Amino acid sequence: MQKRKLGNSDLEVSAIGLGCMGISSGLGPAIDRQQGIAVIRAAVERGVTFFDTAEVYGPFVNEELVGEALAAYRDQVVIATKFGFRFDQEGRQVGLSSHPEHIRQAVDGSLQRLGIDTIDLLYQHRVDPEVAIEDVAGAVKDLIGAGKVRHFGLSEAGPQTIRRAHAVQPVTALQSEYSLWWREPEAEIVPTLEELGIGFVPFSPLGKGFLTGKISEATSFDSSDIRSTIPRFTPEARKANQALVDLLGQIAAGMDATPAQVALAWLLAQQPWIVPIPGTRRVERLDENLGAAAVELTADDLNEIESAAAQIEVQGARYPEHLQRLIDR
């Protein structure tokens, strides 16, 4: 597996990481715990060194699972997790919180669940409008000084927030959605990251599965699957957006690859400091995704994708309104 550095930092990771959320939550009922552990360990065996989780995934159970799966490989892997949500007494996520005291408590909880002494990369999961980003960055800076955290990251943060945070504590990576069907980061986010030397970790690099070609307008989603609430996944939107999948399929057919591999290879070709983190629950899909690192897209291939994609207008918002409000601009 190829390696990449996140921006100007010394944090080197596999060119493709593993997003672990879907093993426990978000995409329907959680899979069997041992099956999830097996997928994570299979990723390690195949050279993946970058694993992404968060306290809110489950909540809490995903960190425990990731910690157990990676315990024997701690010195070989980079573990990223996130803080930023508030929970009620039953453990349900009930809002945002990035007050410094909450951050300290969240980090102690994550360290315990993961079974580690230091978090390699700690993200603020969503920007909290009630807390100055300078205070957030300062709290993480103190945690780095205390040896509990190695690197600071942000998720779904806008350009000005990134700049303000970076001035207090250098930001190693931004995690936000980016793929062939969500290219908004190209306008301001990617230039900002390039200027500041910050790595980019795209989540949902396969459009929450849509770009794999395995989802059609007839696909049904469980009520616990976030895609059942997303406007971009209504049957009408899926039918309209199929054109993008068809494009990937046509290109993939000419290079003995799959649509998913072309979509990931396209992301890898955008910048050398981009590290996508596709998630999966199955080893065969893991192998498919990791195969993208070996797909070489030529300048002509990239131009063909660019020209064809420019003719396709993706239909539907990427989040329902209540989640859209959590995105920092």
Q: Which residues belong to the active site? A: 57
**Torsion angle in degrees (nearest 10) through CA of 117, 118, 120, 124:** 120
pLDDT in tens, 48-70: 999 999 999 999 999 999 999 99
Any domain includes 90: yes
Q: Mean per-residue pLDDT for 132-151?
A: 98
Which domain covers residue 21, as residue numbers? 3-209+271-295
How far apart, in Å, are the Cα atoms of 216 and each of 75, 182, 247?
Answer: 41, 18, 15
Any domain includes 175: yes
pLDDT in tens, 30-51: 999 999 999 999 999 999 999 9
Higher pLDDT pick, 328 / 152 = 152
Q: What is the pLDDT at residue 325?
A: 83
pLDDT band at 274 (very low <50, low <70, confident <90, very high): very high
Q: What is the pLDDT at residue 329?
A: 73
For 141, the 3-state DSSP assignment is: helix
12 DSSP β-pair partners: 5
Any domain includes 327: no
Any domain includes 235: no
Any domain includes 284: yes
Q: What is the pLDDT at residue 90?
A: 86
Alpha-carbon span 230 to 320, nearest angstrom: 5
The percent of residues above 90 in pLDDT, for the chain, comes to: 92
Alpha-carbon span 13 to 35, nearest angstrom: 24
Q: What is the pLDDT at residue 111?
A: 98
Q: What is the pLDDT at residue 109?
A: 98
pLDDT band at 204 (very low <50, low <70, confident <90, very high): very high
Any domain includes 261: no
Any domain includes 309: no
Interstrand relation of 85-87 and 78-83 (parallel, antiparallel or unpaired)? unpaired
Q: Which amino acid is at 183?
A: R
Q: What is the pLDDT at residue 328?
A: 83
Alpha-carbon span 245 to 68, nearest angstrom: 36
For 112, the 3-state DSSP assignment is: helix
Cβ contact 180:263 at 8 Å: yes
pLDDT band at 321 (very low <50, low <70, confident <90, very high): confident
Nearest to 181 by CA among 228, 233, 225: 233
Q: What is the pLDDT at residue 50?
A: 98
pLDDT in tens, 78-120: 999 999 999 998 888 899 999 999 999 999 999 999 999 999 9
Any domain includes 102: yes
Residue with tokens 């993939």, as numbered in its chain = 252
Q: What is the pLDDT at residue 210?
A: 94
Residue with tokens 């895609």, as numbered in its chain = 227
- Roughly how many angstroms between the first and final C-alpha of the chain, as a whole number? 35
Give 278: exposed, middle or buried? Use CB within 10 Å, 0-12, 13-18, 19+: buried
Give 27: exposed, middle or buried? Use CB within 10 Å, 0-12, 13-18, 19+: buried
Cβ contact 317:232 at 8 Å: yes
pLDDT band at 262 (very low <50, low <70, confident <90, very high): very high
Interstrand relation of 149-155 and 119-124 (parallel, antiparallel or unpaired)? parallel
Mean of all residue pLDDT scores within the chain: 96
pLDDT over 90 at 324, yes or no? no
CATH number of the domain that 184 lies in? 3.20.20.100
The tally of domains found in the chain comes to: 1
pLDDT band at 177 (very low <50, low <70, confident <90, very high): very high
The reported pTM is: 0.96
Q: What is the pLDDT at residue 272?
A: 97
